Amino acid sequence: MFRRSGSLILVLMLWLVLVGCTAGQQSNDQKERAEELVGQQFVGEVPEIDAFLALVVSSPQQAGTSPQLRAYLCDGTSINEWLTGNKEEPANTLDLSSDDGANLKGELSPNEATGTLTLADGRALAFSIPQATGIEGLYDMTLNSDGQMSGTSEGGGNTLEGRLGDRQQDGRYLLSGTITSAEGESQDFQALATPDATGEIRGIFLGNGSDGIGNGGNGFKGGGKKGSGAGFFGEGGLS
């Protein structure tokens, strides 16, 4: 009887060791997958509200902590949401929120981010956005009082220069400029800015359209950072 009990205890101990090793390996695998995504951007459309969505996976603020997640949603006219969060376990889980009460939940893979975006007014919108390519992505810009714009992509790989031009029939101003990639390739763009546009701006460039202003899914949508910028940019395109 004692020998049988001892054998059972030994088997149980071995099983616990194997379970612990497996769990540890899974945890390490998840951590490695999370680290591989640091620096990546995902961009795409949320067609139900005619908006662009960008998601950025950034390095942790402190060693040993989870990567930071930042997302920007803008329709170029009224929606201007900045959401933040941390990439917790499991490694592919998304959970971000904004100061206005918007929320983003979903999953992240090397190729795309998917999930549900809930706006402050309660509307729930499904999204699926692929990894950014070329000059696509989230940009931080400054529009000076003289109409000159400059900025960089999130992470600083691409640079942007632009300038406000003539006033259009609807009262907005034409913004024209050029994005230069880290490899030295350039891409011209145009957008329309509301009259109050100024200061620090966030914007999303999406796609590689060729028909300029009003080209739908290819273009630029952005808005002023709350507290340091104002106005909206939309109906623009890459050319």
Residue 185 has pLDDT above 60, yes or no: yes
Shared domain check, 234 and 211: yes
Shared domain check, 195 and 142: yes
Shared domain check, 116 and 141: no
Q: What DSSP state is assigned to residue 66? A: P
pTM: 0.80
Shared domain check, 125 and 143: no
pLDDT band at 26 (very low <50, low <70, confident <90, very high): very low
Query: What is the count of structural domains for the chain?
Result: 2
Which CATH number do you get for residue 117? 2.40.128
The identity of residue 182, as a single letter, is A
pLDDT tens digits for range 104-126: 999 999 899 999 999 999 999 99
Shared domain check, 110 and 125: yes
pLDDT tens digits for range 145-179: 999 999 999 877 899 999 999 999 999 999 999 99
Give residues with Cβ within 8 angstroms of 197, minimum separation 6: 143, 164, 173, 224, 230, 231, 232, 233
Q: What are phi and psi of 238, to 5 degrees?
A: -90, 145
Q: Which of 11-15, 80-84, 140-144 has the lowest mean pLDDT?
A: 11-15
Of 84, 113, 130, the position where a domain reaches its end is 130
Shared domain check, 142 and 122: no
Give residues with Cβ within 8 angstroms of 191, minimum separation 6: 174, 175, 213, 219, 220, 222, 233, 234, 235, 236, 237
User: b/e string for 124-133 if b means 16 or more Cβ within 10 A?
Assistant: ebebebebbe
Of 87, 106, 130, the position where a domain reaches its end is 130
Q: Considering the domain boundaries, does residue 176 fall inside one?
A: yes
Of 77, 105, 130, the position where a domain reaches its end is 130
pLDDT tens digits for range 49-74: 999 999 999 866 544 556 789 999 99
Shared domain check, 198 and 213: yes
Q: Which of 1-5, 97-101, 115-119, 151-155 has the lowest mean pLDDT?
A: 1-5
**Domain that residue 122 falls in:** 41-130
pLDDT higher at 63 or 7: 7
Shared domain check, 117 and 78: yes
Shared domain check, 146 and 234: yes
Paired tokens of 218: 């290819």
Shared domain check, 147 and 114: no
